[in-house]
A and B are shown apart, each in its own frame.
Chain A
Amino acid sequence: MGLKENLHKLKKKYEGKKMAPAFNALHTFLYLPNETTHSGSHVRAADDLKRTMNTVIVALVPCLLFGMFNAGYQHYAAIDETLRAAPLENFFTMDNFLMGCLTILPLVIVSYGVGLAVEFLFAVIKGHEVEEGYLVTGMLVPLIVPVDIPLWMLAVAVIFGVVIGKEVFGGTGMNILNPALTIRAFLFFAYPTWMSGDKVWVHGAVERSKEIAGGANLDAISGETILGSYAQNQEVMYSLQDMFFGFIPGSVGETSKLLIIIGALFLIFTKVGSWRIILSTLVGALVMGLIFNGVVDAGWIENTSKFYGLMSLPFWEHLLVGGLLFGAVYMATDPVTASQTNKGKWIYGFLIGFISIMIRVFNPAYPEGVFLAILLMNVFAPTIDHYVLQGNIKRRQKRLKVKTA
């Protein structure tokens, strides 16, 4: 008798018991459930919630692997600047990968461990099945935090995000805000020193600066992100190529634009991610970038202004720096929190891009505005849908009147 039959038998035994949901979650994670629908008509399709979630995870895995190499690369390159001269040769090395494993795997384990524990707990208390919603969130969370974030902070944030961001609204599918972004927002406002500045993006930079403060004779590691540098009107030492391939400091998974674009194509091809949202977000960002460029060209802003650095950034370069692309592809497209109507998706995405760049430029304290813009639009998504629907109804009523008149 195989494992499958054993599990089916165990399921019968635990039916109606308190721990049944927790058991069923493991069971259906491994195998298809053994019961079938008996009445009514039903449509057979393979794209259930688990398949959808897994597709997104597959699209995220390259970003995670790249992030591991990058964590090591940034660490070693910060110590030895000469490595940056030839990023391609020095990037995919075993040393980098091991360093990445050491720093990033714990983030993944904490994110999944804590998040799933909360999900299981709620499923057992409320007596419903464990929902798959956390599978994607748990993967997104380690990718949108700095490498050196203390694990206990991540754990606290995950508990907050899953409970306040999702469970209080009724669990997966009922949440208003994207849980992964809720977690990031919590970390950002609760522990700002660990989420911004020039010390958190490179592994070891914080410890190094402490040692220097303690009198050690070492060179400081500085890992300012590109956005941070621009916000302070500083020169950026990375080439466009570095930005596109992702050999730059930043949150774990958002640096490589190439891999994000590949992931986006995969999501669009499998119809899991909405191309309307991705495209309109990018258009929104470009439009706002063009407006700012126009302001600079018209000479309305002095080059001593604190907004000058980011405003004068060529509009298309906004797509290459920061987490805009990652947010547009993996976060804005979350089917639960995004607008549902096609017209609504265009408005929703456009405003995300538009507001992201606005926050990015106007608030130097928040060099990355994408997560705030997406959270804001998450709140407005149902309103957008409402007006799109009402508009549609009105248009059709008018047509009806013309016909009957």
Chain B
Amino acid sequence: MGLLSKKDSKLITDPLADNNPITIQVLGICSALAITAQLKPSIVMAISVVFVLGVGNVVISLMRNIIPSKIRIIVQLVVVATLVIIVDQVLKAFAYSLSKELSVFIGLIITNCIIMGRFEAFALGNGPWKSFLDGIGNAAGYGLILIIVGFFRELLGSGTLFGFKVLGDSVEKTGLYAIGYENNGFMVLPPMALIVVGIIIWVQRSKNKELIEEN
């Protein structure tokens, strides 16, 4: 990549795999469980977090030298809250049904530990360009897991992808359903999201033994 130096591109690629916010740092689990029953909300959530974290990181980074450290958490909260409300309003205006489906979870991006975590750990100590890349990278790492989980949960739980009946019609018994296949109702329930995330963590760690924690 000519655009990014090696160090910069690592800021984006690291959180996608070896330092993934969900599977390695185990942050932002609540929303990963709540909205991944279908693929579409997972993707919308991923994009929203990419926007909030990317822009938020830049804003915090620009202000990092003028924020008094005693009130920095409040300043960070104001920044996140502003961005989240923008996302919420945009969704309400242009994708009302989706925003209904995601309900409080868009608002709850404010409490997503990944965002405050990156503000604290990165944006307060680095320049705007690096902070932007770090924000995009971490949010993308989060979104990637959301999309993987959403894919499996929608496919196995409802037999659809983006609402398309890829496995056939479960009521009229076409496609796979004609030979006795049935949707796995467990996949739609939140506990299964936890198990799917667990399996991803398992697969990742057995591929890269360095990631296994000592206990």
Contacts and interface: CB of A to CB of B under 8 A. Distances in A.
A153 B184 CA distance: 9
Contacts of A190: 184-187
A192 B185 contact: yes
A137 B38 CA distance: 34
A152 interface: yes
B129 interface: no
Interface string A119-148: 000000000000000000000000000000
A372 interface: no
A388 to B, nearest CB: 25
B68 interface: no
Interface residues of B, number: 11
Contacts of B195: 164
A191 B189 contact: no
B182 interface: yes
Given A164-B195, A168-B202, A152 B185 contact: no
A153 B189 contact: no
A186 interface: yes
B180 interface: yes
B188 to A, nearest CB: 9
B182 A189 contact: no
Contacts of B202: 168
Nearest to A188: B186
A150 interface: yes
B180 A189 contact: no
Contacts of A168: 198, 202
A337 to B, nearest CB: 19
A266 to B, nearest CB: 35
B192 to A, nearest CB: 8
Interface in B81-111: none
Interface residues of A, number: 13
B187 to A, nearest CB: 7
B198 to A, nearest CB: 8
B186 A152 contact: no
Contacts of B189: 189
A152 B184 contact: no
Interface string A139-170: 00000000000101100100000001000100
Contacts of A191: 182, 184-185
Most chain-B Cβ atoms within 10 A of its Cβ — which of A152, A168, A189, A191? A189
Contacts of A194: 182
A89 B207 CA distance: 62
Nearest to B184: A190
Interface string B154-182: 00000000000000000000000000111
Contacts of B182: 150, 153, 191, 193-194
Most chain-B Cβ atoms within 10 A of its Cβ — which of A153, A186, A190, A194? A190
Most chain-A Cβ atoms within 10 A of its Cβ — which of B180, B182, B202? B182
Contacts of B185: 189-192
A194 B184 CA distance: 11
A123 to B, nearest CB: 16
Contacts of A192: 185
B115 to A, nearest CB: 30
Contacts of B181: 152
Contacts of B186: 186, 189-190
B170 to A, nearest CB: 11
Nearest to B185: A190
Interface string A192-225: 1110000000000000000000000000000000
Contacts of A156: 184
A142 to B, nearest CB: 19
Contacts of A189: 185-186, 189
Interface in A274-293: none
B180 A150 contact: yes
B199 to A, nearest CB: 8
Contacts of B180: 150, 152
Nearest 6 A/B pairs, CB to CB: A190-B186, A189-B186, A190-B184, A190-B185, A192-B185, A191-B182
11 contacts: A152-B180, A152-B181, A153-B182, A168-B198, A186-B186, A189-B186, A189-B189, A190-B184, A191-B182, A191-B184, A194-B182
Interface of B: 180-182, 184-187, 189, 195, 198, 202
